Amino acid sequence: MGQYTAPDYYLLDELIGEEHLLIRDSVRQWVNTELMPVIEYHAQRAEFPKQLLPGMAQLGLFGPTIPENYGGAGLDYLAYGLMMQELERGDSGIRSTASVQGSLVMYPIYAYGSEEQKQRYLRKLASGELMGCFGLTEPNHGSDPGSMLTRFEDDGDAVLLNGSKMWISNAPFADIAMVWAKNPEGKVQGLIVERGMEGFTTPETHNKWSLRASATGELVFDNVRVPKSNILPGVTGMRGPLSCLNQARYGIAWGALGAAMDCYDTALRYAGERKQFGKPIAGFQLQQKKLAEMVTEITKGQLLVWRLAQLKNEDRATPAQISMAKRNNVVTALHVAREARQVLGAMGITSEYPIMRHMMNLESVVTYEGTHDVHLLITGMDITGINAFN
């Protein structure tokens, strides 16, 4: 795996700058030395490699854009994107863990939490002392989270929370859950639910073919008494959870590209080494077509997220622009993975190479944080001004 050479056909490294390249390369090195040697073992066994968490925290992978005075790294969105790209080049499930911690748990506490909540949780989340998860999707409400059934009622200085969430990354081991539920008036609010609160359980989801090295579970709330001081004061309504999803989708747009780059690089090296009919298969037209199309699509995706990073740093990136990048780059990665698998023939399905694992992981990435089709309709609504959802 140490042979990895990232494709940079349009010399984008020249536009990134030295400091950002150092950040990217430090994560790339960590992925090479710490993640790659163990990821196939854990994916085959469907277990999350918890021993990686301290190293991820040390690299600043948990909430890199959170200001330093709250324990974050205070980095910009280009740095965040590059970090997610390298992490997902290792594995989508490991990138998911970092995305959830930073974009879906730390970001809402930073953006909408009280000063007391920020002081209580952010530093511990940044250091990995606490791990978090994000509860929005429900068994019967995925693409339409506004119809959620999870709700809470007033109970003096606390609220009583009832309901359930499903397909929650990090749930089985999370110390806290950032849960979105309806208040007595039917408005959505965020609550910080802590492990150990009576009536709160996190059953693990088994038998997944995708994201096997990521821990997935449910969140079940049976009259959980949550102190009112754990409710986020700064936001009411779907704007709260949707703003978190924008943060995560931005990271996914970069991350999926990392998986695509790994598949392409694997296929390119294999094609140069594998000989048939007296020459490397890289010398045959159909293999060159596959490889040329892969690097073209990856280059387009790289340009898309590089520009998106600039807009995000200027606070000008729209949710629709983020949707376009997420949708494009994930489907690009899926296509690259499938083509790369064919270049490797039967070897492409073995764990000796990362391609089949990436391909299975990307089947989840194309669905979560807004499905492929929903992101298409977000673009459609943005350009026509007509809402096709209802």
Contact 27, 87 (CB under 8 A): yes
Non-local (6+) Cβ contacts of 257 within 8 A are: 85, 88, 298, 301, 302, 305, 329, 332, 333
By CB neighbour count within 10 A (0-12 exposed, 13-18 middle, 19+ buried), where does 87 fall? buried
Q: For residue 236, which of 164, 192, 185, 194 has the smallest C-alpha distance? A: 185
By CB neighbour count within 10 A (0-12 exposed, 13-18 middle, 19+ buried), where does 224 fall? buried
Alpha-carbon distance of 353 to 262, in angstroms, equals 10
DSSP state of 196: T
Q: For residue 43, which of 353, 369, 257, 343 has the smallest C-alpha distance? A: 353
> Which active-site residues does the annotation give?
369
Q: Where do we find the tokens 């309709």?
A: 377
Non-local (6+) Cβ contacts of 221 within 8 A are: 150, 161, 162, 163, 164, 179, 193, 199, 200
